[in-house]
Amino acid sequence: MSAIDTLFQELRQAGKKAFIPFVTAGDPDLDFTAAALRELDARGAALCELGIPYSDPIADGPVIQASYTRALERRVRMSEIFEMAKQVSSQMSAPLVTMVSYAIIHRFGSERYVEKAQAAGIAGAIVPDLLVDEAHDLAKICAHQDFSLVQLVTPTTPRDRALRIADTSTGFIYVVSITGITGEHNQLPAELVDNVAWLREQTDLPVCIGFGISRPDQVTQLAPVADGLIVGSAIVRRIGELASKPREAVIDEIGTYAANLISALESRK
């Protein structure tokens, strides 16, 4: 079992749901990323998602794209990200999972990427551009190393394909709530709850929802059907305000924002 498997097993036994925040590695620098992760962990995040900057992000909206651009302009390197993750993961109770393009994994070498990530205390990878038809080799490597391979189901994924994705995923299934790109949305699709409820009946894997979630009322709407909720753009947007605010103030703002969403999640188990 990976650390992510253990986490969700413990959450289910306790009747709890996972709050999963996203931050971009190296935006504005890796010291800030480490501080943000520690703050989110201290505020009660169950699992933290670390975005690996990529010049051609998949389905990421303007807020996260801009954060990737800022990190890449500072020439953040994978070796530096892994070193930061190694240091911060030992200080956190929440496992780390990377959101990483398969192009990066392929260039790195699948076995080498998993080996380096595990050595850095990272428990799994969300790979948004990995087609289920091409996932077998990486899935085999990850399974052998107890490293979670999280794949995505979108609103346009046919149900037979969603079942295949569930069969090759480990850790949890990432359900994309909306058609399109990431970002904060005022309203989520009416059919989302029914679609997630159907998927949960088809698999024993935890089902977590991301894209568009930013407000407590959305958390309370989705908490009854999800095993976890992923929040990214709203956090990354606050980090983007560093140019006009002190670092300590932004860290505290991120922590307070996360705590409010966690409180809403815990109130609707």
Q: Kindly report which listed range (96-105, 172-181, 194-203) carries the lowest average pLDDT score.
A: 172-181
Q: Kindly report which listed range (21-35, 82-96, 177-191, 210-224) carries the lowest average pLDDT score.
A: 177-191
Q: What is the CATH number of the domain that holds 139?
A: 3.20.20.70
The tens digit of pLDDT for each residue in 179-225 reads 654 544 455 656 888 899 999 999 999 999 998 899 999 999 899 99
Specify burial of residue 58 (Cβ count, 10 A radius: 0-12, 13-18, 19+): middle
Q: One of 31, 60, 73, 83 is an active-site residue; which one?
A: 60
Instruction: State the average pLDDT over residues 97-114.
Output: 96
Active site residue 137: no
Q: What is the DSSP string of 67-90?
A: HHHHHHHTT--HHHHHHHHHHHHT
The tens digit of pLDDT for each residue in 148-165 reads 999 999 989 999 999 999
Q: One of 27, 29, 39, 49 is an active-site residue; which one?
A: 49
Q: Kindly report which listed range (5-14, 91-100, 109-118, 174-183) carries the lowest average pLDDT score.
A: 174-183
Q: HSE (CB half, 13 Å, CA atoms) of 182? A: 27
Q: Which range of residues forms the domain containing residue 257?
A: 3-267
Q: Count how many domains the chain has.
A: 1
Of the candidates 187, 188, 233, 230, which has an alpha carbon nearest to the alpha carbon of residue 207? 230
pTM attached to this predicted model: 0.93
pLDDT at 208: 97
Res 21 pLDDT > 50: yes
Q: What tokens appear for 34 in the block? A: 């480490």
Average pLDDT, the chain: 92
Res 234 pLDDT > 80: yes
Can you tell me the distance from the alpha carbon of 27 to that of 31, in angstroms, rounded to the nearest whole number?
9
Res 229 pLDDT > 90: yes
Active site residue 191: no
pLDDT at 1: 87
